[in-house]
Each structure stands twice: as structure tokens, then as C-alpha cells.
Amino acid sequence: MEPRRVNGKNHWYHETQSTICPVDVLPLVPEAAHVEDRFLLDLTLPEAWLHIHAGWLHPARQLAERLFPDQVAVSRLQTFTAYDRLSTALTVAQVYGVQRLCNHYAARLAPLPGPDSSRESNRRLAQITQYARQLASSPSVINALSRSQLDEVGLTSRDIILINQIIGFVGFQARAIAVLQAALGYPVRWIPGMPQQEEAPAELFTAPPGEWQSDLEDPDLQYADDERQRRIAGWQSLPGLGELAPLLACDPPLFTPLETLIRQLSTDGTDDTFGPQVALLAARTNGSPTCFDAWLPHWQGEEEFASHLREGDQALHHWLQQHPQSRSLVTAVQLLTRSPDRFSAAQLTPLAEYGLSAEQAIDLLTWSGLCGWMNRLKIALGNVRQQT
């Protein structure tokens, strides 16, 4: 029997090989491309929630529009096309399995012309896809070799910064939407067999703290006029993120709303221990020792929590046996970090034991998603130089 052939990108999982479609093929949910809110993707929230969370929803919407505009101008310094951006976003959405994101990015990608079918283009797209999948699912495996492989297929320093911003943003978006859907009582729809993110190796957190340094050798990124210097200075008060500022400041339209987003969510408005505790949990799971060390001085709880967390899940489980009141928060953050498609009201509701309102719990868990974005930027854009 002749094998069945299907043209086009009418599914979530896209191929890296470019083909010419003889007919227009629609994605599974074509209407998902046409949404008024490109961050919430038309998830309907009560008006009271929209007002309460407006402080971080507004910059999140700005970032969605600026990362994925309808038209993208490419240049010698910035070669990422609209197709590159959306195919990367779809790859990350597939990793996390949040259906709303998969539908949206698949629907927007489907009508776009792909790159030519040359060996170079296919290799470039395959490398971008592999990198996006690895950083989204197993961030601790990303290293200097991973960055050099992007450079080998023609990505510029600004492209490398942008691809990491896209991966981080879509991961944050997936977790924010998963939390909001859980708060609304939506049933969990996850694909059977989808693996959870593994905890980062404990070895990353046993070495003495070192200095983080960028791995991008681009003199233009080091140049800073007065305006860029002013923007960079504002980031120095953000724990562990001051070193990233010179790299991220090369894209002002993203830089300002991202700073606003971080400042809005880094203070949860409930208890000074919750924000740092969530940041430590995210950094440990994702494998960012520099983010972990940056937030450690802000942790006002028991020192044993941080030391057990460094050692890994088994030691943390032992600590939780002695502190059962912390189990619901740790469980919620870990599941959301590792597998947002499985997060549901079953993990959100127990947070009321802390005296957290639904709105406060939403902010705190959304903060954990933002921490994951920052963890990935630190992992992907530099290395830790051990102090001697």
C-alpha cells in the first residue's frame, strides 16, 4: 500500500525539513491565531482578577506583542525571522504541553513561509529546535558547547539572546496560564507519556560560589551609551540579574517591560519568606547555582531548608517530614516547574493553609515561572568562573 502523505503544518509537532505546500492547509485550531490578548490567549478571567493582577499582566502582554510581532525586520545583527520565533515558541509549548499555547503558536506558524530547503537552512532550523527543546526541558544540560553550536549555524549574538528570551518567555507564559486555569477550576489535560523535567544534578550546588560571566564575545554588547547605562543601572538591585543587564539592554523594547514584570512579581505582598523560598526552589530544580546563591541572603527562614535543598529531593523530603506545613508550597512549585501541564487546583487549593488568598497564591506561583525564565537566561548566556 502506498504510504499516506500529508502536506503542511496542520498539527502541533512541526518538521524541521522545509516543504512547499501545494494547497493551503489549516492548523488544528485556526481560530487560536486570532486572539485579542497574546499573553492570556483569550483565557477569560473575572474582572476583579484582571484588576488585581494588572501590575504584572500589562508588562507580560507587552512582551508577548514585542517578541512575536506580525512583521519582523531582519538585519545582519538580527537574523531571526517571524518563522524562527514562532517555530521556537511552538517547540517550547510542545515541551510543556499546555494546550492553549500549542494551539496558538501552531495556528500562527502554519501560514508562514518556511526557510528554503537547502542543507544549511535545514541544519540551522534543526539546531534551533534541538536547543529550544533542551533548554525548555533540561536547562542544566546547556553549556558553552550548546552556544557554540548555535554560532556554527549562523546565529548572531543578538539572535542567541533573543532565542533564550523566547524560550524563557514561553515557559513563563505556560506556567502563568497553567496557574490561572487551575484557579478557575479547569480540568487538567495533559498528554500521556510526556516526561517531567528532571531535577538538576546536586553537583552543581556543591562547589563554592563563583562569579557569573557572559559567554558571548560581541564588542557591541559591551558598548553602552548614557541611556543604556541608565537602563542597566536599574537592574543592579535585582538579585543575581545585574550581570545579565548589559546583554539584555541591547533590546530596549523588551528590557523595560521585563524589568517591570520582575519588580511586580518579586514581592508577593504576603510574607518576605515566600518569594525567596520560591526562587530557591526554582533555581535548584532548573540548575542555576548563581540564582540560588543570589537569593540565599534574602531567605529568612531556617538555614536547614537551603542546605537540604542543595542536596536534592531526598534530603528535601527528609526536611519536609519535620516541617509538614511547608509541603503544599514546595509540592506546588516543584510540579509547576517540572510539568506545568499537570498543575491543577489540587496543588493550588492547599496553599490557603498559609493564609494566602487565591490572588496571592496566583502571584506567588507565577513568580516561580518568572524565576524559571531568569534561571534559563543565567544558564544559557554564561558560565560560572570559580573563585580562586
What average pLDDT does range 40-69 have in this prediction?
Answer: 97
User: Residue 18's pLDDT is what?
Assistant: 44
Task: Work out the angle at residue 353's Cα, subtended by the Cα atoms of residues 349 and 359, and round it to the nearest 5 degrees.
Answer: 55
Flag the least confident range among 6-10, 230-234, 236-240, 331-335. Answer: 6-10
pLDDT band at 303 (very low <50, low <70, confident <90, very high): confident
- The mean per-residue pLDDT over the stretch 93-107 comes to 95
Q: DSSP per residue over 118-140, as a string? A: SHHHHHHHHHHHHHHHHHHH-GG
Percent of the chain surpassing pLDDT 70:
88
- 268 versus 212: the higher-pLDDT residue is 212
Contact 262, 75 (CB under 8 A): no
Note the pLDDT of residue 356: 84
Give the per-residue pLDDT at 383: 87
In this structure, what are the phi and psi dihedrals at residue 213, rounded to the nearest 5 degrees? -135, 140
User: Which of the residue ranges 77-91, 218-232, 258-272 has the most confident prediction, judged by mean pLDDT?
Assistant: 77-91
- Of the pLDDT bands very low, low, confident and very high (cuts 50, 70, 90), residue 6 is very low
Average per-residue pLDDT in the chain? 88
Stretch 146-164: mean pLDDT, rounded? Answer: 95
Q: Which residues contact 285 (CB under 8 A, 6 or more apart)?
A: 197, 199, 200, 334, 337, 338
Per-residue pLDDT for 2 more than 70? no
pLDDT of 20 higher than 70: no
Q: Average pLDDT for residues 96-108, to the nearest whole number?
A: 95
- pLDDT bin (cut points 50, 70, 90) of residue 386 is low
| CB of 223 closer than 8 Å to CB of 333 | no
| CA-closest candidate to residue 374, choices 194, 243, 209, 208 | 243
CA distance linking residue 10 with residue 27, whole number of Å: 4
Measured CA to CA, the distance from residue 62 to residue 158 in angstroms comes to 20
How far is Cα 160 from Cα 381, in angstroms, rounded to an integer? 8
Q: Bridge-partner residues for 214, per DSSP? A: 382
Instruction: Quickly state the pLDDT bin for 374 (edges 50, 70, 90).
Output: very high
Residue pair 16/126 in contact (Cβ under 8 Å)? The answer is yes
pLDDT tens-digit series, residues 249-260: 989 899 999 999
Q: Which of 57-71, 165-179, 352-366 has the lowest mean pLDDT?
A: 352-366
User: Which amino acid is present at 267?
Assistant: T
pLDDT-based confidence at residue 173 (cuts at 50, 70, 90): very high
- The pLDDT of residue 94 is 95
* pLDDT for res 23: 45
- 216-239 pLDDT, tens per residue? 877 676 666 778 888 888 899 999
- Nearest-5° Cα angle at 351, 347 to 355: 170
201 pLDDT more than 90:
yes
Establish how many alpha carbons lie within 13 A of residue 169's alpha carbon, considering only the half-sphere containing its beta carbon: 29
pLDDT of residue 69 exceeding 70: yes
Indicate if the pLDDT at residue 11 is higher than 50: no
CB–CB of 228/195 below 8 Å? no
CA torsion, points 167, 133, 11, 178, in degrees to nearest 10?
A: -60
Distance between CA atoms of residues 187 and 58, nearest Å: 27
CA-to-CA separations, 308 to 116, 127, 313, in angstroms, rounded? 51, 37, 8
In the three-class reduction of DSSP (H, G, I as helix; E, B as strand; rest coil), residue 213 is classed as strand
C-alpha to C-alpha distance for 168 and 359, rounded to whole angstroms = 23
- Residue whose entry in the numeric block shows the C-alpha cell 538580527: 78
* Residue 263 scores a pLDDT above 70: yes
Among 20-24, 161-165, 276-280, which is the least confidently predicted range?
20-24
Nearest to 77 by CA among 160, 142, 1: 160
